Structure 1
Amino acid sequence: MVTYKDSGVNIEEGYKSVKLMKEYSSKTFTQGVLNGLGSFAGMFELGKYKNPVLVSGTDGVGTKLKIAFQMKTYDTVGIDCVAMCVNDVLCHGAKPLFFLDYLACSNLEAEVAADLVKGVSDGCIQAGCALIGGETAEMPGFYSKGDYDMAGFTVGVVEKDNIINGSTVEEGDVLVGIASSGVHSNGYSLVRKVVKDFDEDFLGTPIGKVLLTPTKIYVKPVLKLLDKFKIKAMAHITGGGFFENIPRMFKDDFTAVIDKKSFEVPPIFNHLMELGVEEKQMYNTYNMGIGFVLCVDNKDAKNVVEELNKMGEKAYIIGSVKKGEKSVCLK
């Protein structure tokens, strides 16, 4: 008799992984969660809003996972998965409510899968949202042995009157950049092409460990800012770097004039340029040290920076808004 296990799928290992995952997901539950893992769907009660708008975002970790598996470090990339989603919905002023993840592999190892979900749990705690469900797919013959893929999505909420869409941006507004934690989770196919040995020393640490630094989650500091200041537009600097993402915050035709000398570029980016990546390509692929950008009135800019610094965030005035086509001008 042929069993499911004979085909490469170990149901018992799946049960074990779910049990381990439940321990991590329960730590994220916030007010509004109506049921835990194990049901057919996650339930979340919105609570008191006058005119709520749901804002959703989805993303994955990408080939950063390859480095994680090579370095046998499994508990950080889940933070990246959450960050890539919650930072996106934050751009419209939405508070992330809950998160669901999707994990796929060839053959499930319960401890590895649980470590991956631990990272998701940690990311949700940082973002103040709940991990209320997910899916683990074991697909032998489809994925290579030892490989995992991870993606997820989040749903946030914002009062309709408070949606941030760039419609109030004017010439002369100021761009405030919040520092990134490193490469975040974009451009890793290029990283893997130029970095040949992830165990090589980089400023006293294996470069693979440096490259696995999780994506910074900006939710809590930015939501606090929204209570004190009028933020006109926001951009999450992900794939496409400065050139693609900053113009996305403008509803009308404006040019973002960025002073490259106004902020600190982390050493890892300079190292990638030393390995042969041109500067323009860097700004078109990576965050270069600025992971999130705010557009504010000139009179508020210094106070916004000071407030972020008080919260422990490195922030800089990195440029201004000029009339023109939707583009970025680096100087």
Structure 2
Amino acid sequence: MSDKYREAGVDLEAGYESVRRIKSHVARTKTMGAIDSIGAFGGMFDLSKYGFQEPVLVSGTDGVGTKLMIAFEADKHDTIGIDAVAMCVNDVLVQGALPMFFLDYIAVGKNHPQVIEQIVKGVADGCVQAECALIGGETAEMPDMYDEHHYDLAGFCVGAVDRSRLLDGQKIAAGDVLIGLPSSGCHSNGFSLIRKVLLKDAKLDLQATFEELGGKTLAEELLTPTRIYVKAIKHLLDKVDIKGMSHITGGGFYENVPRMLKEGQGVRIDLNSYPSKPIFDLIARCGNISKQEMCNVFNMGIGFILAVDPGDVEKVQQLLAEIDEPSYVIGEVTDTGSVDLQW
């Protein structure tokens, strides 16, 4: 039926098999507003179920970047989907919006249904962590565009918040305290530099174990999924006044923290105020990279930052401790207009 298309490199039957395999993973993510729509042309979601008075939709899209190259080399594909979800939902979250639904896009050189299933399993795991529904997606088989064993992965998330609760940084003032939530490692940023420094230049073996990494293999450390902070922030939103939030992604502290501030404001952050992550020491040592450049590329162990009034610090940390979420007072907002890091 599709012999000519198969000869051109596209296997329709493999595509149908992939859809069959992922249905159970999609079902795990169903939430209150999700409408069954697998196989439809568009994903559907009923926002009225959530009782918003003046709903504002907040959307975000992102990919996993060259972290995928580590997944290819390690032949491990069941966690990379968590990264795709995390990079989108954490961005939406900083404006006070709760992620509602997610869609993924997978482009492959050849459709291997078992690999597609692993990727989507990771996406579903991420959606469960973020308490949002996976309501649709697309898998495109594009021979000659990608190597047979390579793929690209991107995602798109929509969240919602009442207009009165939208966080835009306007409440932040000098003297407000910065509370940092730890990252799980490199998350999904800086992997072009990581691969050059650790794999190309230092020629480290991905399957070798490293005592300084807690006995994990390098592949295990680098493929550790990006943390999703939705549950932690949802636990706070109705109980304390969060003035602003920042997701620490590519660009590190220097680029991401100012995005939550008003013009003319700055921050002072002490990098010794929280436990360091050994992977960053390994990267810096192997690449002879300065601390300043490291902080301009990586999250350096802090994946998410909250700005709160000094009087709310104890309450915030107590609430986070209730759900076993570590937190650290890492600095304060200033009126210097600059990001000042202490190490």
Letter in 2 for 1:127: A
Equivalent residues in 2 for 1:172-251, closer than 5 Å:
172-196=175-199, 197-203=205-211, 204-251=215-262
Give the aligned partner of residue 263 of structure 1. Answer: 274
CA distance in 2, matches of 1:206, 1:31: 40
TM-score, reference length from structure 2: 0.94
Q: Percent identity?
A: 51
Check conservation: 2:269, 2:332, Cα contact below 8 A.
yes
Check conservation: 1:64, 1:185, Cα contact below 8 A.
yes
CA distance in 2, matches of 1:281, 1:201: 27
Question: For 1:300, which of 285, 307, 312 is the aligned residue?
Answer: 312
Question: For 1:138, which of 133, 137, 141 is the aligned residue?
Answer: 141
SS of corresponding position for 1:4: helix
CA distance in 1, matches of 2:3, 2:92: 47
Letter in 2 for 1:318: I
CA distance in 2, matches of 1:253, 1:237: 20
CA distance in 1, matches of 2:156, 2:83: 12
- CA drift of 1:323 comes to 0.6
Check conservation: 2:18, 2:117, Cα contact below 8 A.
yes
Give the aligned partner of residue 103 of structure 1. Answer: 106
SS of corresponding position for 2:95: coil
TM-score, reference length from structure 1: 0.98
Question: RMSD of the TM alignment (CA)?
Answer: 1.1
Give the aligned partner of residue 290 of structure 1. Answer: 302
Give the aligned partner of residue 161 of structure 1. Answer: 164
SS of corresponding position for 2:171: coil
- CA drift of 1:2 comes to 6.3
CA distance in 2, matches of 1:146, 1:67: 13
SS of corresponding position for 2:103: strand
CA distance in 1, matches of 2:267, 2:248: 14
Check conservation: 2:235, 2:319, Cα contact below 8 A.
no
CA distance in 2, matches of 1:168, 1:179: 24
Q: How many residues align?
A: 330
SS of corresponding position for 1:79: helix
SS of corresponding position for 2:155: strand
CA distance in 1, matches of 2:210, 2:58: 40
- CA drift of 1:107 comes to 0.6
CA distance in 1, matches of 2:187, 2:12: 34
CA distance in 2, matches of 1:191, 1:236: 20
CA distance in 1, matches of 2:82, 2:278: 22
Check conservation: 1:30, 1:129, Cα contact below 8 A.
yes
Check conservation: 1:167, 1:252, Cα contact below 8 A.
no
Give the aligned partner of residue 154 of structure 2. Answer: 151
CA distance in 2, matches of 1:181, 1:222: 17
| Range moving further from structure 2, 245-254 or 104-113 | 245-254
- CA drift of 1:246 comes to 0.5
Is residue 17 from structure 1 mapped to residue 25 from structure 2 by the alignment? no
Letter in 2 for 1:45: D
Deviation digits for residues 165-214 of structure 1 (CA, Å, limit 9, x no counterpart): 10011111000000111110000000101112212222222111111000
Give the aligned partner of residue 284 of structure 2. Answer: 273
SS of corresponding position for 2:340: strand
SS of corresponding position for 2:27: helix
Give the aligned partner of residue 313 of structure 1. Answer: 325
Letter in 1 for 2:336: G
Question: For 2:120, which of 117, 124, 127 is the aligned residue?
Answer: 117
- CA drift of 1:115 comes to 0.4
Check conservation: 2:267, 2:336, Cα contact below 8 A.
no
- CA drift of 1:252 comes to 2.9
Check conservation: 1:26, 1:36, Cα contact below 8 A.
no
Letter in 1 for 2:131: G
| Range moving further from structure 2, 306-315 or 238-247 | 306-315
Give the aligned partner of residue 38 of structure 1. Answer: 39
